[in-house]
Each structure stands twice: as structure tokens, then as C-alpha cells.
Chain A
């Protein structure tokens, strides 16, 4: 069972934007994520952020793939 990404936050503001309802925000890319990507962040539908997200970095260090 995959776990929600440690880099996922729900914010109403960030990246120069604001929303009425808190949205998925990636602290690695510093941006709100697309709804389809949010399913990866939340490990829904059997998705795993550690393998299915190209921006994932291990919490103990590493570099994001860009």
C-alpha cells in the first residue's frame, strides 16, 4: 500500500496564486499540481509517488529528476 507523498501539502495560497479551496501543492517543484498529478501525490488508484512521479525525491535527501 503506497503512502501519500511527504512533499504534498494542501494550500490556499502559493506560487503567486490563491484559491477558495485548498489545493494540492508540491513542495519539491514549489507549485500547485494538476488534478491528474494529485492522484499520484495522494497514492490513489494504486499509484505510488515514489515511482510514478518524476519529481519525487527521498525525504532524506537526493535530487529531483527534472
Chain B
């Protein structure tokens, strides 16, 4: 979690966020939505170097789905298509009821990891994903019961405060995910990541997301600070200006940059050891 760890060649965990819950094929014709499409992208990303796959579920027409049944279809297809990659389910869901937010945790088997949004964030002009402390706690309780490692989604400094206040409740190492972009995420600038990392307790592992055109620079900077990276079409649709990306291309680029910078890409086994995961 430090520049010294970069110098020591600490392995980097690459997470691929394949689909998301906001945009769909209306924004990118090849964004994977069906279980089959997600599984194909998952297999390609595993081959390219991703050791964690962040999954969302959709309806047949691409619209959001939160039910255990839909997540089961996706996770079954991904497990079938991949060898050893870590599966992480999203528990995010603007406007979805608290009960629905728990459903992605209830597949059989349970995912090894799940996202945990640490506070409110705005969507569009009139929606807010509230993510109350009560909901965060109840999701974390169920994750503990099912031996699911939480990834704490830190959209801004307020969420960092919330995370640090309850850090003792999380098993070692706490895994924090920093989002940089627009709206209620953190302002996307390298100095803000440096500042964020300097204030972290030593036992924390951190991951970085940069939204849109900030994906490449912010994740690259994370490599230099001993952090991990998330890439994929959920966070960024373009490989470069005007050129739509694939999930596989974004993962391959992250792996290539990491290798060039002296950070070996973590295998799923190394990822499990680093983050204290229960196994697939």
C-alpha cells in the first residue's frame, strides 16, 4: 500500500468490471448484458490478467436486475466459463429496496467478494442512492455470515470517513476501493490519490477506479503507489478518444502497463492470499 511496495514489486490485483448497472447496449453495442455475453467477457478477461470479476445482473432487455435468481444465472455462467478467477457480486442499486440489495449475496455458492457502497451518491439530476449506515451494516453482517469479503466502495472523502470509523469491524486486510470521476465521486486528479493514500492505515489494501477518461491515468498512478486497479466497460467505454473498448482490451492494457512498471500481475491464488479470501 506504499511506494516502497511498488519498489518491492508487489503483485497487482486487476479487477474487471464487465457490465455495471447504469448504461447498456444503447451506450456500447458490445457491452455484455446476458449471462452468456458476460461469461464470454469473463473468460477473455481472465486470460488477459484479471483475477477478480465484478458482476452485475440484467434482465433480458438489458435493464437492471437484483434478484438472487438473475445473479445465479450470471455467476453459474461465469463459473462455467472461467478457471479460477475470484467472483465479486455488486450489491449496489440506486432506488432498489434494502431487501433487494441483499439478494446478490444469496447465490449458491456465495460470491467470494461483494461490493459495499459506503454512503450516498447522486445519479442524474434527481436520484440519490442513499446507502444508509443501517443498510451498510446489514449488508456487511450478511457478508460475514456467508464468508464474503467486502470491498468498501469509497466514492468520496465522506465515505472514507465512514470507512475509517468502522475499519475495526472488517477482517484483515480491509479492502478499500477509491472512485475518481464526476458528480459525487472524488475529483479526478493525481494529487488527490496521493493525499488519500498518505492518510491510510498501513493494514489497508486499496484499489483505484477512474471513471471515463480518468481510468487510464488514475489506475496507472495506483500501480506506483502500491495499489490495485479496476478497469472495464462499467467504468469506461473507450480505449482512447473515439475508439470503443472491449473489457479484454482494457484488462490487457492494465496488465501490460503493470508489467512494464515492475508490478507482476497477481494470479487468482495470489489475490486470495493477499486479500484473505475463502476460495472459490
Contact = CB atoms under 8 A, between A and B. Distances in A.
A39 B29 CA distance: 20
A34 B126 contact: no
B96 A45 contact: yes
B280 interface: no
Contact of A24 (B61, B124, B127): B61
A36 B126 contact: no
Contact of B95 (A10, A34, A35, A39): A39
Nearest to A38: B63
B97 A21 contact: no
A63 interface: no
Given A45-B97, A47-B95, A53-B126, A36 B64 contact: yes
20 contacts: A21-B61, A31-B26, A34-B22, A34-B24, A34-B27, A35-B22, A35-B23, A35-B58, A35-B63, A36-B22, A36-B23, A36-B94, A36-B124, A36-B127, A39-B64, A40-B127, A46-B97, A47-B95, A52-B126, A54-B126
Contacts of A51: 126
Contacts of B22: 34-36
Contacts, number: 63
Given A52-B127, A53-B126, A54-B125, A46 B62 contact: no
A15 B146 CA distance: 45
Given A21-B62, A53-B126, A46 B26 contact: no
B61 A23 contact: yes
In the complex, which range does the number of interface residues on chain A fall in? Answer: 20 to 34
Contacts of B21: 35-36
Given A10-B61, A37-B124, A54-B125, A23 B95 contact: no
A22 interface: yes
Q: Name the prevailing secondary structure of the B interface residues.
A: loop
Contacts of A24: 61, 63
A17 B26 contact: yes
B95 A45 contact: yes
Interface residues of B, number: 24
Interface in A1-20: 10, 17, 19
Contacts of A42: 63
B278 interface: no
A49 B94 CA distance: 15
A60 B25 CA distance: 32
Contacts of A21: 60-62
Contacts of B96: 45
Given A39-B63, A39-B64, A45-B100, 14 more contacts: A21-B61, A22-B61, A33-B26, A35-B24, A35-B62, A36-B22, A36-B94, A39-B95, A40-B127, A42-B63, A46-B95, A51-B126, A53-B126, A54-B126
